[in-house]
Amino acid sequence: MAPTIFLALTYYFGWNAIHGKSGLEAQADQRTQLQAAQKQADATHQRLVMWQTKVTALSGQAIQPDMLDEESREVLNLSDPNDLVIDLPGAKSAK
């Protein structure tokens, strides 16, 4: 009778060690979930760094205001009212 009880207890604890709530299978599932969460956290961190870089580039400290003003006026083909504009004669065409 004692060996049967011992074998039953051994089977019970062995089964729970593998299939139970805190068993080996549950730990493997938790590791898989942890790896997926870490990948998602890494991707989110990369997006955060990307957006922080873009926001920093837009701040007034990263861009020199006069260079920004010059570039925007060149792109928009506008001038400041205080600018002195001199029209240069066009290049003579070869005949």
**In degrees to the nearest 10, what's the CA dihedral of 65, 67, 70, 76?**
-80
Neighbours of 79 (CB within 10 A): 11
Number of residues that make up the chain: 95
pTM: 0.48
Confidence at 32, pLDDT banded by 50, 70, 90: very high
Average pLDDT over residues 59-84: 79
pLDDT tens readout for residues 50-66: 988 888 777 766 677 77
